[in-house]
Amino acid sequence: MPFVLRLIVAVVVAVVVGLGSAWLTVGEGWAFRSYKAGDWTAWPEGGSATPDPYSRAILARTAQIPLGGGEGIAFFASRDSDRAPLRGGCEYVLTGDTPLARLWTLSVVDAKGEVPRHRSGRTHFHSREVLRKPDGSLEITLSPLARPGNWMPIPDSGALTVVLRLYDSGAANPRTAGALLMPRIEWKGCR
């Protein structure tokens, strides 16, 4: 094999491996160190004052302004408690309880990361409007159709991610928070 050909092989390998791995870690967010709790995942490194180089690159690329630990923490769930992807048009029930927080909000984003519009005009649900069961636990219905009790509207179709943001909460510090008890997302059915 002539030298020039070997040089081309080396350069092609370098570019594919170098840019490919950079794209996977930064572009696809593989390197965003995650913090898992039940059905939920958070990325506290993104809101850290001293983020690692991958998180810095992800922040610069996406223009996110994430919550810092002194504000709160955002947990994301794209799958139900049976590990099936969450879909618009289906009905889910969020049960259990959240970690201690002064305030929490619940919302959803679509596959593009955008907050979908719902005919009810509602884009969120929060802890100051929640009705608790007699034993103090939560039951929030996620459905495209209006439901009695605690109802969070979701779209009629498409992939879905549920976002639970805990404000002023010890859960924002993974090192000291311990094991978090997060609500479960149970599938009820699809239309």
User: What residues contact 25, with CB distance under 8 A and at least 6 apart?
Assistant: 31, 54
Taking CB under 8 A as the rule, which mask of x and - marks residues 133-162 in contact with another protein? ------------------------------
Q: Would you count residue 66 as binding another protein (CB under 8 A)?
A: yes
Considering beta carbons, is residue 67 or 180 the nearer one to another protein? 67
CB of 124 to another protein, least distance (A): 4
# binding residues, another protein (CB under 8 A): 60
Handedness of CA 150, 153, 156, 162 (dihedral sign): negative
100 near another protein, judged by CB under 8 A: no
List phi, psi (to 5°) of 81.
-70, -10
Most distant CA atoms of the chain, gap in Å: 79
| 54 near another protein, rule: CB under 8 A | yes
Sign of CA dihedral 84, 90, 91, 94: positive
Which residues, in sequence order, are CB contacts of 128 under 8 Å at separation 6+? 103
In the complex, which residues of this chain contact another protein (CB under 8 A)? 1, 6-7, 9-19, 21-22, 25-26, 47-49, 51, 53-54, 56-57, 59-72, 74, 102-103, 105, 107, 109, 113-117, 123-124, 126, 128-129, 163, 165, 167-168
